[in-house]
């Protein structure tokens, strides 16, 4: 089981990344808006999230989200495979994003995370 951590990752399209940087806030992708919270993944969950929800897409970005900045807006809830996933029940402010960079995945499936 994934233990709650102090940071998690949001996978963004280029347009979503541009909007976050321009507006200073991200209200969510269509699936986030439909579900009522912003979906994040702990680091060990990112590859599975990519495979399930972003297969075949390119020009994706990873945003490192400092969960300590968001306080009570973060809830770790059971989701895919009965694993705990971090969800944000608020908009994501740029002040909570500690790193952002292009999603780079090697042929072996490993991911290079922005520092």
Domains annotated on the chain, with CATH? 7-112 (3.20.170.20)
> Token digits for 48?
């599975």
Element (H, E) at 46: helix 46-53
In order along its 115 residues, the chain shows pLDDT tens digits of 565 789 999 999 999 999 999 999 999 999 999 999 999 999 999 999 999 999 989 999 999 999 999 999 999 998 877 789 999 999 999 999 999 999 999 999 899 999 8
84-88 and 111-112 strand pairing:
unpaired
Q: How far apart are CA 23 and CA 109, in angstroms?
A: 32
| SS3 of residue 37 by DSSP | coil
pTM attached to this predicted model: 0.93
Contacts of 76 by beta carbon, 8 Å cutoff, 6+ apart: 4, 84, 85, 86, 87
């Amino acid at each position: 089981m994934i233990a709650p951590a102090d940071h998690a990752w949001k996978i963004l399209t280029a347009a979503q990344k541009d909007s976050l940087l321009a507006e200073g806030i991200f209200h969510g992708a269509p699936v986030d808006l439909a579900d009522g919270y912003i979906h994040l993944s702990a680091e060990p969950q990112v590859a599975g999230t990519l495979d399930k929800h972003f297969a075949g897409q390119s020009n994706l970005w990873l945003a490192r989200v400092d969960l300590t900045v968001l306080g009570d807006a973060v809830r770790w809830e059971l989701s895919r495979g009965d694993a705990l996933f971090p969800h944000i029940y608020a908009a994501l402010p740029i002040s909570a994003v500690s790193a952002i960079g292009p999603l780079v995945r090697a042929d072996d499936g490993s991911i290079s995370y922005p520092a």
